[in-house]
Amino acid sequence: LDFAKDLVPADFAFIVEYDGLTKADLIADVKSVVEVLQEVVNLGAVDLYLTKDMNIENLTPLKNIIERLFDLNLLSGKFDEALGVVFGMLGVEDLDLSGVDFDHERDLLINLITEVEKLRDMDGIEVVSISDALDLVEVIMSDILGFVDTEKATQVVNIVEVLLGSQILRTAFKDVYQALVYPMVEGMVGELANLEAIDNADIIADFDALIEILRSALDFGAIDVVKGEAIRFDRVEEVQTIVRKLFGLNILNAKIEEIIDYVADMITFVDLSTIDASALDLAADGELFALAYEKLAVVLTHDAFPIKDISFSFSLDIDSLLDAYVNETTIEQVLDALRYLSDMTILREALPIALDFA
């Protein structure tokens, strides 16, 4: 190990420091490294080198590799410093990862592989090797709607949710984004993509909210609806969750002025300059819209409602509509919905524009 200090980059020299470790600890690490190498072979590294392809039916060796590496005595207590050096090389300085539980990160990585295995083993996904996986990507890109269904999409969300549970990601996201991603997209969308003024905790809260939105959309049957199935207007709770969470996104509320300016540059035939962004309360609007939808469900779910799917191919039977909706209960529900909608700040700001456009 003393000799190894001269072989590793100076920034990583601390990794081979063994102060406080016994010979038994070091021998245990040597045995673990040998086992890691064996698992690399078991995983198919030799085939990958010789054939540029590898069987990925059995990912247990990969889980074992992760567990062994995280348990090395030589690396104990050094993961945060090592990641700090890596992030520093990427231009992300002074990142404090001291609060990260790396046992949690180890378990998360193993769980992530398990969730990927579940996706791999689903009907319609015939992936045995890396080349199969690459071929599948081409199939998905050529006909994503034909490939994706609610079950597969739900499993993808499960994978993303596990990934978003990473304490490293939740700690470092904003700093990494600002240093690496923002410079690449700034030229396309300008300040709209700048998250510097938004607290990292608010960004992470938005990620959690987006997971809830996706799950609610899947429960609503969004994929089936896009494929032409009937719209489930009766899934009121799911619609309300989507609306409340979407309108309450911290990034959306923080960037609303930039969003309006960006849209105004694209839609030149409508004057959006009259919208006062400071007068908008999107979170409150989301609550009002959710309440309005609940009231309107009596109209949307009735057999007489002409819109059944996204094809919007329908004919109006005025007599049937009058018979269905002209009653005191329905009219009261609609009036309550209109009261909620009329209190929305976004409607107040947009109404003059709509009238001018009309």
Question: What is the identity of the amino acid at 155?
Answer: Q
- Dihedral angle over CA of 106, 108, 109, 113, nearest 10: 140
Alpha-carbon span 158 to 160, nearest angstrom: 6
When pLDDT is averaged across residues 282-295 and rounded to a whole number, the result is: 97
Q: Where are the alpha helices (DSSP H) in the chain?
A: 23-43, 45-51, 60-70, 79-89, 102-120, 130-142, 144-147, 150-164, 167-176, 182-189, 200-220, 222-226, 236-247, 250-254, 256-266, 282-300, 318-325, 328-342, 345-357
Q: What is the pLDDT of residues 32-42, one digit of tens each?
A: 999 999 999 99
Please tell me the predicted confidence (pLDDT) of residue 331.
95
Report whether pLDDT(313) > 90.
Answer: no
For CA atoms 289, 290, 291, 293, the dihedral sign is positive
Q: What is the pLDDT of residues 39-85, one digit of tens each?
A: 999 999 999 889 999 999 999 999 999 999 999 999 998 899 899 98
DSSP 198: S
Report whether pLDDT(298) > 80.
Answer: yes
Alpha-carbon span 70 to 59, nearest angstrom: 17
The proportion of the chain whose per-residue pLDDT surpasses 70, expressed as a percent, equals: 96
Q: What is the pLDDT of residues 154-199, one digit of tens each?
A: 999 999 999 999 999 999 999 999 999 999 999 888 889 999 999 9
Give the pTM.
0.88
* pLDDT confidence band for 259 (50 / 70 / 90): very high
- Beta-bridge partner residues of 78: none
